[in-house]
């Protein structure tokens, strides 16, 4: 936006005089003003815009500090990537730069005075628009910092990750086994013959370029098995993949494979579905701490976790096996399972909320709802396992008999929802 303001200032000044004359001649619309008046207007706008920009930056930093201390530092990414906040900051900076560049073109020499009247009018329009943007920003900040709003935003990110990583239509589920051999012998043969490609740096695995890895495996006639999945922390020197046959692993091939794995200092949600889950869990865990004692935020996080898990329960787990056009196995991936994601979603909240009846009841209620969407026996068993742990923890952590009875009633509802 700042670059666009620079371009607008130079273009506007260049075409200002002919356009002004055309508007005066055809529409009778005049923009005439003196050099002193135009300079004063642009100076006031530029000064006020840079002042407001400083206020907006300060408000943004206060918001980030508050979110970091109360909701968790990993949630800062959501505020920093907020497009609307970026547009607000860009509007003020762009208006300031535009007025500053137009201001320097005003000349006051006797007989050679030049005032870009149309450009000055555009500056006034930008100033009025900036006032509206400021009002919008104040409202946006007051809404976006609310815990329920943040939980809803992360919940949508969780569902988006489910739709991306667990599509409704997936490929084959079974590993092709050569005739005369068993799956166990095939895996054993792969492990015996495979050569590892190790990471060349430390960091969290953020992205894996799976299509490029598959193409390389086809071109080099290889079978590649991933040893890490997005979200894992990788230590330099530990295996990223195993390649069979190992005799074809060269330095050039190693460099190519390493280039398909993106490591960074923090986890991202691009291919890591547990990242959104962990953000909601972190919010709930902080809300249940003795310093905050805010079970309502924890309950909101459980609700949004339940929405994502209901969507996940309806999806089939994508096959870890990828083939070439001749149906030959080329890549063996590592995918998140329903069991792992449910563990990540409920374990810590259950542990921190065992002494809170409202949270324990909401966990059981959410599990009962998810049970209605689950269509695999192993998924139902996972949900039942967590429900049993919630009940055991509540029985140990709740001193009141009525609270334990309410938890027991929710447990019976979970059992009633079990598929027959």
pLDDT digits (tens, 9 = 90+) for 31-84: 566 778 888 888 999 999 999 988 888 888 887 777 777 777 767 776 777 888
- What is the C-alpha separation between 242 and 223, in angstroms, rounded? 8
Indicate the helix (H) or strand (E) that contains 54. Answer: helix 35-70
Position with higher pLDDT, 30 vs 202: 202
pLDDT digits (tens, 9 = 90+) for 182-239: 445 556 667 778 888 999 999 999 999 989 999 999 999 888 999 999 999 999 999 9
Residue 345 CB contacts under 8 Å (≥ 6 apart), including other chains? 277, 280, 281, 305, 308, 309
Among residues 209, 275, 274, which one has the least CA distance to residue 241? 209
**pLDDT, position 187:** 63
- What is the C-alpha separation between 222 and 262, in angstroms, rounded? 21
Preceding peptide of 272 cis, ω within 30°:
no
Among residues 259, 266, 203, which one has the least CA distance to residue 235? 203
- pLDDT of 6 over the 90 cut: yes
**Residue 263: strand pairing partners:** 205
**pLDDT, position 329:** 84
pLDDT digits (tens, 9 = 90+) for 349-366: 999 999 999 999 999 999
Instruction: Answer whether 390's CB lies under 8 Å from 350's CB.
Output: yes
Residue 238 CB contacts under 8 Å (≥ 6 apart), including other chains? 198, 199, 227
- pLDDT of 371 over the 50 cut: yes
- Locate the DSSP E strands across 265-372: 321-323, 329-332
- DSSP label of 114: B
**pLDDT, position 174:** 47
pLDDT digits (tens, 9 = 90+) for 280-310: 999 899 889 887 888 999 999 999 999 999 9
Indicate the helix (H) or strand (E) that contains 213. Answer: helix 210-219
pLDDT digits (tens, 9 = 90+) for 388-416: 999 999 999 999 999 999 999 888 888 87
> In this structure, are strands 233-234 and 261-264 parallel, antiparallel, or unpaired?
unpaired
Tokens 């959501």 correspond to 78
Residue 191 CB contacts under 8 Å (≥ 6 apart), including other chains? 242
Kindly list the distances between the CA atom of residue 168 and the CA atoms of 155, 157, 335, 372, 382, in Å, as whole numbers in the listed order.
19, 17, 15, 18, 21
Question: Which of 141-148's residues contact partners 24+ apart within 8 Å by CB, and which partners?
Answer: 141/59, 141/60, 141/63, 141/85, 144/63, 144/79, 144/82, 145/63, 145/66, 145/67, 147/71, 147/283, 147/287, 147/294, 147/297, 147/300, 148/297, 148/300
- What is the C-alpha separation between 137 and 19, in angstroms, rounded? 34
Q: What is the largest CA-CA distance in the chain?
A: 100
Express the helix, strand and coil content of the chain in percent, nearest 5 each.
Answer: 65, 10, 25
Angle at 308 between CA 315 and CA 287, to 5 degrees: 155
């Amino acid at each position: 936006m700042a670059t666009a303001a620079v371009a607008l200032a130079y273009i506007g000044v260049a075409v200002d005089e002919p356009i002004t004359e055309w508007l005066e001649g055809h529409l009778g619309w005049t923009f005439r003003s003196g050099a002193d008046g135009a300079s004063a207007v642009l100076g006031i706008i530029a000064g006020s815009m840079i002042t407001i920009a400083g206020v907006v930056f300060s408000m943004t930093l206060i918001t980030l500090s508050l979110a970091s201390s109360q909701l968790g530092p990993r949630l800062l990414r959501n505020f920093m990537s907020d497009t609307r906040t970026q547009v607000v900051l860009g509007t003020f900076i762009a208006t300031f730069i535009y007025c500053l560049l137009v201001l320097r073109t005003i000349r006051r020499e006797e007989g050679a005075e030049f005032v870009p009247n149309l450009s000055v009018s555009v500056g006034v329009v930008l100033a009025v628009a900036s006032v509206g943007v400021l009002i919008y920003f104040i409202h946006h900040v007051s809404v976006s910092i609310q815990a329920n709003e943040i939980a809803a935003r992360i919940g949508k990110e969780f569902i988006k990750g489910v739709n991306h990583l667990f599509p409704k239509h997936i490929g084959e589920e079974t590993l092709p086994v050569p005739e005369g051999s068993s799956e166990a012998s095939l895996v054993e043969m792969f492990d015996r013959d495979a050569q590892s490609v190790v990471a060349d740096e430390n960091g969290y695995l953020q992205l894996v370029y799976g299509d490029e890895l598959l193409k390389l495996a086809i071109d080099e006639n290889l079978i590649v098995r991933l040893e890490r999945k997005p979200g894992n922390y990788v230590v330099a020197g530990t295996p990223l993949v195993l390649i069979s046959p190992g005799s074809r692993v060269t330095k050039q091939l190693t460099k190519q494979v390493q280039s398909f794995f993106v490591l960074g200092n923090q986890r991202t949600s691009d291919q890591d579905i547990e990242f959104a889950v962990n953000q909601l869990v972190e919010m709930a865990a902080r809300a249940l701490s003795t310093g905050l004692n805010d079970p309502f935020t924890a309950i909101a996080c459980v609700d949004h976790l339940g929405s994502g898990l209901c969507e996940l329960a309806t999806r089939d787990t994508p096959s870890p096996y990828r083939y070439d056009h001749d149906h030959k196995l080329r890549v063996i991936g590592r995918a998140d399972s329903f069991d792992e994601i449910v563990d990540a979603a409920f374990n810590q909240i259950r542990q921190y909320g065992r002494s809170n009846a409202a949270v324990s009841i909401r966990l059981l209620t959410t599990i009962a709802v998810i049970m209605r969407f689950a269509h695999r026996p192993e998924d139902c068993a996972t949900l039942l396992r967590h429900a049993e742990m919630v009940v055991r923890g509540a029985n140990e952590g709740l001193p009141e008999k009525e609270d334990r009875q309410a938890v027991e009633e929710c447990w019976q509802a979970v059992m009633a929802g079990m598929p027959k």
